[in-house]
Amino acid sequence: MNKIRLMLIAFVISITGFAISTPSFAVYYPPEQAIDMTVAKVQAAIDAMKNGGNAEAVSDLIKDALDASKEINASDSVFVARTKASNVLKSARNHLKGGAAKEAEEELNKALQSFSNLKKML
């Protein structure tokens, strides 16, 4: 009887482990929503920069935009364009860390345009 109970407990624990796994908590965003989320975060970084935010805060906002851009999953051509736009964001972040705020703002505007154009590719 004890062996049956132990086997039943082991079975229940293993089934529970499969049912509550990490992928079941993952959030999937449709490409349009992911693009909108990324554009909003890039715009927040631009607004913070125009309002005189410090470089570290703006850099964190750019990092959030980069993280949001990873949710954009569509075709291969969208992937290539997303990668190019992400590289512009990374460059803006590097310029900001280097103290070149004007170049960073120009690249943020370029990244905003690039991410906005991704919707046309869907």
Rounded to an integer, what distance in angstroms lies between the CA atom of residue 69 and that of residue 41? 9
Calpha distance 72→81 (Å, rounded): 11
pLDDT (0 to 100) of residue 74: 85
| Cα 69 to Cα 111: distance, rounded to the nearest angstrom | 11
The structure tokens listed for 7 are 């086997």
Distance from C-alpha of 64 to C-alpha of 37, rounded to nearest angstrom: 10
Q: Mind listing the pLDDT tens digit for each residue in 46-72?
A: 999 999 888 999 999 999 999 999 999
Among residues 89, 74, 83, which one has the least CA distance to residue 120? Answer: 74
What is this structure's pTM?
Answer: 0.77
